[in-house]
Amino acid sequence: MIKKSDNPKHKQGFRAEQIIPVSFLLVILAGSLLLMLPYATVDGERTSFLTALFTSTTSVCVTGLVVVDTFAHWTLFGKIIILILIQLGGLGTVSVLSMIMLMLSRKFSLKERNLLQDAFNLDTRRGLFKFLKRVFRATAIIEGSGAVLYAVRFIPAKGVIKGIWYSVFHSVSAFCNAGIDILGPNSLINYNSDPFLMAVTMYLIIMGGIGFIVCFDVVDKLKEGRKKDFGVGKSLTRLSEHTKLVLFVTAFLIVGGTVFLFLAERKNTGTIGEMGLFDKWFNSLFQSVTFRTAGFATVPQENLTGISCVIGYFLMFVGGSPIGTAGGVKTVTIFIVLFNAIAFIRGRDETVIAKRRVSENMIRKAAAIVTISMFTAIIMTVLLMASEGLGIDNAAYEVVSALATVGLSRGITGTLTSTGRLIIILCMYLGRIGPISMAIFFTKKHVEANSIAYSEGHFFVG
């Protein structure tokens, strides 16, 4: 055993990776207290602390699982609180606070810059505030465009004022991949023959799920191409390797999921079996998209076949892409783990994607995220089965949906006991901040963990 150096002394206090989970927890608790106010609940209903905590958690963690009907249980005040919590959770509490500080012309310390960098999971502080401004501007543009498109349907059906409110609420919920609606107890099932409304919802889900880095890269390359008289095709070939990978994996998962879901459900009268061919394909497409952490449903989830549930477990577990509003372990993470395995099988010393080498640290991080997430899902599923007496299919569906902040349920969320609700609350919280973030929360500084070098051991695997 070789000692590298003495452990350095560090100042006491929260680190960036500790502040972020704490900030989410504080917002959740504040939201819970607000939702317990008499003004938040309609006459004749009562909101317990656990119900308020569950609703606040599902809003801040942009999950979408609910134990009471959002439309019927909450007043306008309560729904506004839920909408604010969704927006805070979708963009991140730290980024929202940083934007407010920036608007007030407050200077940022180095620690605050590091915190903002960690909140967005960026690898550099260069251009950090410019990136923050672009995030909020892009959010306003996308959510605004979504609200305008929704208004085409909601204003004629609900009236001007109510139609605008419905349009704004669902645009924010869809872009933040929250999946919370105020349409009634059936999510979007009543709209499963309306391709326009479903298309608008998918547009918002995908834009939130592919990540801000990808959106900005596409826009920048198209602008650059227009200035240099490049065609669209040539402009897109200049995209970064990260953007190309995200777009490829996203398209592959959506298209692949659509095909498999269509084949699994085409004869199922409980879902799409009695629809016309076009509606069958379109609802299969929507289900494939919403599995990627959105939470809106156009077919009853409890009626899905076992094959569709297995497809759902995978798509929910993968989730969206980095630096976006979606949850899951992320597309790039899964792809790196997969390509690292392929590289090992082929006897290669390096993992290469799109002619770019993946760093050893990135591979280790991806492997840690997938491993910890899988073990968390297994443990939570067993706990939910034990507490609620559920079968593994329903329990796994609920847990994976909560951990990946999806929000789809097979109709059991509202029937959970207090213990079951607490398990799902913990799953939603871990899913939003990441199980690995919680593990790091309780660890010491990385330099302390690496202060000793050990001689190599001899182990056998496989």
- Residue 125's contacts (CB-CB under 8 Å, 6 or more residues apart) are 113, 114, 117
Question: What is the reported pLDDT for 276?
Answer: 95
Are residues 318 and 331 in contact, defined by beta-carbon separation less than 8 angstroms? yes
User: Would you say residue 98 has pLDDT above 90?
Assistant: no
Q: How confident is the model at residue 314 (pLDDT cuts 50, 70, 90)?
A: very high
- Which residue ranges make up each domain of the chain? 18-443
Q: What's the mean pLDDT in 314-340?
A: 89
Share of the chain above pLDDT 90, in %: 56
Q: Torsion over CA of 451, 457, 460 and 462, rounded to 10 degrees?
A: 20
Q: For residues 117 and 98, what is the distance between their CA atoms, to the nearest angstrom? A: 11
Question: What is the reported pLDDT for 386?
Answer: 96
Helix (H, G, I), strand (E, B) or coil at 376: helix
Question: What is the reported pLDDT for 69?
Answer: 92
pLDDT, tens digit, 9 for 90 and up, residues 342-357: 999 988 888 888 778 8
User: Would you say residue 3 has pLDDT above 50?
Assistant: no
For CA atoms 347, 351, 356, 359, the dihedral sign is negative
- By the 10 Å C-beta count (0-12 exposed, 13-18 middle, 19+ buried), 432 is classed as buried
* Helix then strand then coil, % of the chain, to nearest 5: 65, 0, 30
Most confidently modeled of 91-95, 108-112, 240-244, 389-393? 389-393
Are residues 300 and 291 in contact, defined by beta-carbon separation less than 8 angstroms? no
Q: How confident is the model at residue 8 (pLDDT cuts 50, 70, 90)?
A: very low
- Residue 198's contacts (CB-CB under 8 Å, 6 or more residues apart) are 188, 191, 192, 282, 283, 286, 298
pLDDT, tens digit, 9 for 90 and up, residues 108-135: 666 666 666 665 666 666 667 788 888 8
Question: What is the reported pLDDT for 437?
Answer: 62
Q: For residues 328 and 253, what is the distance between their CA atoms, to the nearest angstrom? A: 14
Question: What is the reported pLDDT for 318?
Answer: 93
Least confident among 159-163, 242-246, 399-403: 242-246
The CA-CA-CA angle for residues 229, 230, 231, to 5°, reads 120
- In which residue are the tokens 């929250």 written? 178
Name the amino acid, one letter, at 354.
A
Q: What's the mean pLDDT in 274-294?
A: 94
Q: What's the mean pLDDT in 411-425?
A: 94
Q: What is the CA radius of gyration of the chain?
A: 23
Cα separation values, 125 from 55, 86, 112, 131, 358, Å? 34, 27, 11, 10, 21
Least confident among 338-347, 352-361, 376-385, 451-460: 451-460
Q: For residues 435 and 437, what is the distance between their CA atoms, to the nearest angstrom? A: 5
Residue that wins the pLDDT comparison between 17 and 176? 176
Share of the chain above pLDDT 70, in %: 84
Tokens of 325: 């509003």
Question: What is the reported pLDDT for 4?
Answer: 44
Question: What is the reported pLDDT for 381?
Answer: 96
Are residues 163 and 154 in contact, defined by beta-carbon separation less than 8 angstroms? yes
- DSSP 8-state assignment for residue 273: T
Q: How confident is the model at residue 443 (pLDDT cuts 50, 70, 90)?
A: low
Question: What is the reported pLDDT for 84?
Answer: 94
pLDDT, tens digit, 9 for 90 and up, residues 149-165: 999 999 999 999 999 99
Question: What is the reported pLDDT for 6?
Answer: 46
Q: For residues 131 and 122, what is the distance between their CA atoms, to the nearest angstrom? A: 10
Q: What's the mean pLDDT in 85-97?
A: 77
